[in-house]
């Protein structure tokens, strides 16, 4: 009786492609993801990203004009650009099929995706999810006197530490609103000096930190070089050139398939169930059977999209939407991991990790975050404190680990979740990040 089902199994024909050879033949644009963090709530992040999207024609002029008219109606013309970004976020919040295009723009060589859309609530968990998929981060600093200083004291430090802990190595600092300080070189130099020292403390190497003086509102030094004589002192790259100059990580295309589900959504009649995310390792093609963990259920890929375009296959590093068949949506949640039955990821209830403590660490309850996955658990054992540089053991079985210390700890969870090394995890408690590091 159990085999009887009213739902018919969908047969999807596979082209049996050799995906890796297809990949080496294909001349695709590079795909790069980045996370945006701000030096202050009103640093101008939305305006700056809207400017990038508008100037690189990721949104059409009609939509932009519509926003401009609406914004002028309420006497806030400058808001139009910020709305470009916020609109997408709002649609997502309403559960409308995500229009990925609103967070995507292209240059000649590269497709860029802005991976985080942090709302004001739950900002850090969102950022963890975003940063774990990012090739680099953009830090937006408000160059206005006063604002910059208060920003640095605020959450910026935690955010910078977090993105670094999530494995992000390169950071581009947009020293924004330079129009409001008359493109003052001294102001820029002062910010560059302070932010550099602060970012190096957070673990970024000086060669991986770059600064661009710009204005999201006017667009100067964003996608076009400023012709304002006040900024003739700056001969460096525009923001978009700086983004372009990043080398994407090389992705493990020949390793077993791993993809963390970002979003699950019910789409059209044609594609009733879809998931989106970035492939972490391996490759896949239409017709493939996939396994989703922790549920251990299988599904068939009926069709797929890479960066919004239909495709027969996809490889690690690409952002994809997979349209699925032969699975009940209750088995798919954001944070779950897609793999194959031939090389599945294990579900574990405990793991050892090497973390940087943000707060005092004691055996205690914590939430474990990895990308979109977050589950309750506890620090069950403090194994040792370690030397930051060499990783050598300093002290075994410490009673407590002080903030700023690197330690090896054991974490346990009530439920089994798909986790494996190497992966970055963040531990939080009471709405604060207490530690971040690497699963061993
Ligand atoms: P967010 O909170 O970081 O996303 O900041 P918004 O993009 O919403 O901008 C905050 C405020 O700063 C708004 O009033 C903007 O009009 C203003 N703003 C944004 N970019 C610039 C800029 O380049 N120059 C100046 N002078 N003001 C800006």
Confidence (pLDDT) at 271: 76
Confidence (pLDDT) at 47: 87
For a substitution probing ligand 1, which of 46, 47, 182 has the most ligand atoms within 8 Å of its CB? 47
- Distance of CA 431 from the midpoint of ligand 1 (Å): 27
Confidence (pLDDT) at 84: 66
Confidence (pLDDT) at 307: 79
Q: What are phi and psi of 275, to 5 degrees?
A: -130, 155
- Distance of CA 217 from the midpoint of ligand 1 (Å): 7
- Distance of CA 42 from the midpoint of ligand 1 (Å): 6
Atom of ligand 1 nearest to the CA of 214: 23
For a substitution probing ligand 1, which of 42, 147, 220 has the most ligand atoms within 8 Å of its CB? 42
| CB 284 within 8 Å of CB 314 | yes
Helices (H) and strands (E) in the chain, counts: 9, 23
Confidence (pLDDT) at 118: 45
Which protein residues are within 6 Å of ligand 1, measured from CB? 38, 41-47, 78, 82, 176-177, 179-180, 215-217
Which of 322, 347, 327, 329 lies closest to 417, judged by CA? 347
Please give the structure tokens belonging to residue 59.
């949104």
Confidence (pLDDT) at 63: 77
| Cα distance between residue 382 and residue 399, in whole Å | 7
Confidence (pLDDT) at 364: 96
Reported residue count of the chain is 440
Confidence (pLDDT) at 167: 79
Q: How far is CA 284 from CA 144, 165, 254, 302, 303, in A?
A: 48, 29, 11, 12, 11
Domains in the chain, CATH or no CATH each: 30-244 (3.40.50.300), 252-339 (2.40.30.10), 347-439 (2.40.30.10)
Confidence (pLDDT) at 373: 86
Atom of ligand 1 nearest to the CA of 76: 16
- Atom 22 of ligand 1 has which residue's CA nearest to it? 177
Please give the structure tokens belonging to residue 319.
């952002």
- Atom 12 of ligand 1 has which residue's CA nearest to it? 44
Place of tokens 């640093």: 43
Q: What are phi and psi of 367, to 5 degrees?
A: -100, 135
Alpha-carbon 148 to chain mean position: 24
Please give the structure tokens belonging to residue 368.
């474990």
| Cα distance between residue 388 and residue 437, in whole Å | 12
Confidence (pLDDT) at 193: 93
Cross-strand bridge partners of residue 355: 407, 437
Please give the structure tokens belonging to residue 390.
């060499």
Atom of ligand 1 nearest to the CA of 50: 7
Confidence (pLDDT) at 57: 83
Residues of the chain with pLDDT under 70: 1-8, 76-79, 83-102, 116-129, 145-155
Please give the structure tokens belonging to residue 76.
């806030």
């Amino acid at each position: 009786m159990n085999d009887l089902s009213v739902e018919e199994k969908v047969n999807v024909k596979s082209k049996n492609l050799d995906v890796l050879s297809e990949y080496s033949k294909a001349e695709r644009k590079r795909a790069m993801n980045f996370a945006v963090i701000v030096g202050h709530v009103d640093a101008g992040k939305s305006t700056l990203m809207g400017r990038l999207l508008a100037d690189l024609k990721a949104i059409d002029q009609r939509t932009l004009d519509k926003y401009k008219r609406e914004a002028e109606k309420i006497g806030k013309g400058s808001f139009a650009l910020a709305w470009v970004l916020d609109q997408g976020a709002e649609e997502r919040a309403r559960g409308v099929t995500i229009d990925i295009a609103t967070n995507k723009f292209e240059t000649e060589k590269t497709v860029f995706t802005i991976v985080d859309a942090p709302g004001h609530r739950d900002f850090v968990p969102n950022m963890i999810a975003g940063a774990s998929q990012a090739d680099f981060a953009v830090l937006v600093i408000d160059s206005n006197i006063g604002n910059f200083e208060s920003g640095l004291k605020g959450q910026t430090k935690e955010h910078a530490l977090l993105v670094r802990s999530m494995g992000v190595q390169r950071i581009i600092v947009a020293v924004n609103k330079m129009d409001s300080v008359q493109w003052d070189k001294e102001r820029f130099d002062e910010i560059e000096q302070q932010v550099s020292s602060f970012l190096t403390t957070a673990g970024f190497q000086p060669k991986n930190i770059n600064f661009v003086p710009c204005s999201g509102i006017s667009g100067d030094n964003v996608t076009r070089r400023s012709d304002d004589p006040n900024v003739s002192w700056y001969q460096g790259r525009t923001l978009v050139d700086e983004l372009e100059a990043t080398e994407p990580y090389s992705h493990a295309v020949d390793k077993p398939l791993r993809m963390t589900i970002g979003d699950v959504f019910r789409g059209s009649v044609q594609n009733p169930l879809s998931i989106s995310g970035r492939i972490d390792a391996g490759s896949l093609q239409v017709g493939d059977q996939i396994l989703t963990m922790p549920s251990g259920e299988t599904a068939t890929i009926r069709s797929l999209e890479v960066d919004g375009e239909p495709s027969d296959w996809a490889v690690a590093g690409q952002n994809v939407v997979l349209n699925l068949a032969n699975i009940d949506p209750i088995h798919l949640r954001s944070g779950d991991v897609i793999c194959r039955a031939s090389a599945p990821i294990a579900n574990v209830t405990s793991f050892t990790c090497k973390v940087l403590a943000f707060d005092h660490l004691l055996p205690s309850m914590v939430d474990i975050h990895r990308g979109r996955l977050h589950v309750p658990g506890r620090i069950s054992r403090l194994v040792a404190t370690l030397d930051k540089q060499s990783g050598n053991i300093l002290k075994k079985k410490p009673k407590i680990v002080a903030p700023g210390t690197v330690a090896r700890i054991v974490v346990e969870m009530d439920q089994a979740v798909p986790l494996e090394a190497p992966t970055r995890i963040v531990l939080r408690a009471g709405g604060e990040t207490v530690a971040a590091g690497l699963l061993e």
